[in-house]
Amino acid sequence: MSDLLERLRERGWRMTAQRRVVAEVLDGQHVHLTADEVHARATERLPEISRATVYNTLGEMVSIGEVIEVATDGRAKRYDPNAHRPHQHLVCSRCGTIRDVHPQGDPLAALPASERFGFAVSTVEVTYRGVCPDCAA
Amino acid sequence: MSDLLERLRERGWRMTAQRRVVAEVLDGQHVHLTADEVHARATERLPEISRATVYNTLGEMVSIGEVIEVATDGRAKRYDPNAHRPHQHLVCSRCGTIRDVHPQGDPLAALPASERFGFAVSTVEVTYRGVCPDCAA
DNA sequence: ATCCTACGATAGACACTGTCTAAGTCAAGA
DNA sequence: TCTTGACTTAGACAGTGTCTATCGTAGGAT
């Protein structure tokens, strides 16, 4: 079930109850949670888990590429466990929920060399914004 | 010279010294400042301007579409006065500086209806990330 | 030119998000 | 079982943004 947990173990992570819970919370969700939301859900299973541990664990998962950090507003970052399939995000401008979407074509191709100003461009993030069906009602 | 100021006046804005200074700071910069950076520069010209006023004024400019809010990391939002010409952003993943770029084509077209999930999609933000020439050296 | 009044500005408290530190705990190899 | 260093913890701290109550003033009315 928990591929994420399995991959972390393979990387030599020390398996603590806290890390297990954080991985499970991420794995079980299709929405993109903020760090404090992850903490809230983790607390339901492991009441004494601290905020710092959740932040640390998420940060480590991001730095090894198992989880993607999404900053769509200037507020809390959100964490996306779907790091292995390239995708972009569709954000509701009212309620802030995020959906994964898969646009056609390679967005990198749209930026000609003359517009790269010597940058070694490596990634593109595309954020579509609009009003979701629930908020439009 | 300050087109921004002129447009605000046309919208019936009460012209206060504070709003004038905020508009001038934005207009004179080609970089994208954070709210607190705007405040710092505004303070040089109008020492008693408050942080709340800068935040309010920036927020109002964003809501009427004269300025664009850019959240490239999970930290401070940056404010882009170049709202009249559609463009995207190229961010250095080392030093964080932002350049305006103009990709080809309409990025909205890449998202087929089947991938919109009932959202009324209105805007797209594209953020290219890479290492700038200065940081690559 | 002066007066009025509603809109804008102010200071500072507050809230949210994230980071850091010092001390205690425990997973896992010896 | 023992040992060790990686991990966790509580809580202080820092950066960013919001809110409230009060004061000031731009600009129309007189």
What is the domain-level CATH number for residue A94?
A: 3.30.1490.190
**B44 C-beta less than 7 Å away from strand D:** no
Same-domain status, A70 and A116? no
Question: What b/e readout covers B85-111, taking b as 16+ CB neighbours within 10 angstroms?
Answer: eebbbbbbbeeeebbebebeeebeebb
> Based on the domain organization, do B75 and B107 belong to the same domain?
no
Alpha-carbon distance B112 to B108, whole Å? 9
Mean pLDDT of A45-65: 94
Nearest CA in chain B to A76: B74
Number of domains in chain A: 2
Question: Residue B36 maps to which CATH number?
Answer: 1.10.10.10
- Bases of chain C with protein Cβ within 7 A: 7-12, 16-21, 26-28
Statement to judge: residues A11 and A67 lie in one domain: yes
Does B67 lie in the same domain as B108?
Answer: no
Smallest CA–CA distance, residue A37 to chain B, in Å, is: 16
pLDDT at A78 > cutoff 50: yes
**Where would I find the H helices in A47-122?**
51-63
Q: Identify the domain boundary among A34, A55, A80.
A: A80
Same-domain check for residues B58 and B101 = no
Please answer whether residues B70 and B77 qualify as being in contact, where contact means their C-beta atoms are separated by less than 8 angstroms: yes
- Structural domain ending residue among the three candidates B46, B64, B80: B80
Query: Which residue carries 């109008």 as its tokens?
Result: B46
B110 closest CB neighbour out of A73, A103, A127: A103
Determine what percent of chain A is predicted with pLDDT higher than 70: 98
Residue A27 contacts residue A81 (beta carbons within 8 Å): yes
Residue A71 and residue A115 in one domain:
no
Higher local confidence (pLDDT), A103 or B22? B22
Q: What is the mean pLDDT of residues A13-28?
A: 92
With a cut of 50, say whether residue A101 has pLDDT above it: yes
Residue A133: per-residue pLDDT: 86
Among A32-41, A61-70, B74-83, name the one with the lowest average pLDDT.
Answer: B74-83
**Is the CB of residue B53 less than 8 Å from the CB of residue B6?**
no
* Residue-range definition of the domain harbouring residue A117: 88-136
Which band of pLDDT confidence, cut at 50, 70 and 90, is reported for residue A2? Answer: low
Residue A20 pLDDT > 80: yes
Does pLDDT of A66 surpass 80?
A: yes
**What pLDDT was estimated at residue B2?**
58
Residues A71/B73, Cβ–Cβ less than 8 Å: yes
Q: Looking at the structure, tell me whether residues B111 and B44 fall in a common domain.
A: no
Do B36 and B97 reside in the same domain of the chain?
no
Q: Are residues B29 and B75 in the same domain?
A: yes
- Asked if residues A128 and B120 have their Cβ atoms less than 8 Å apart, the reply is no
**Is the backbone of residue B53 left (phi > 0), alpha (psi -120 to 50) or beta?**
alpha
Q: Is the same domain home to B62 and B103?
A: no
Strands (DSSP E) found in chain A: 33-34, 68-70, 78-80, 88-92, 98-101, 120-131
> A35 to chain B, minimum CA–CA distance in Å?
12
Give nearest nucleotide to B58 (CA–C1'): D17
- On whether both A76 and A99 belong to a single domain, the answer is no
Final residue belonging to a domain, choices A62, A80, A98: A80
Are A31 and A76 in a shared domain?
Answer: yes
Q: What is the mean pLDDT of residues A3-21?
A: 87
**What pLDDT is attached to residue A4?**
80
pLDDT, residue B93, reads 76
Strands of the sheet containing A120-131, edge to edge, are A98-101, A88-92, A120-131, B120-131, B88-92, B98-101
Q: Is residue B36 classed as helix, strand or coil in its secondary structure? A: helix
Residue ranges for chain B with pLDDT beneath 50: 1
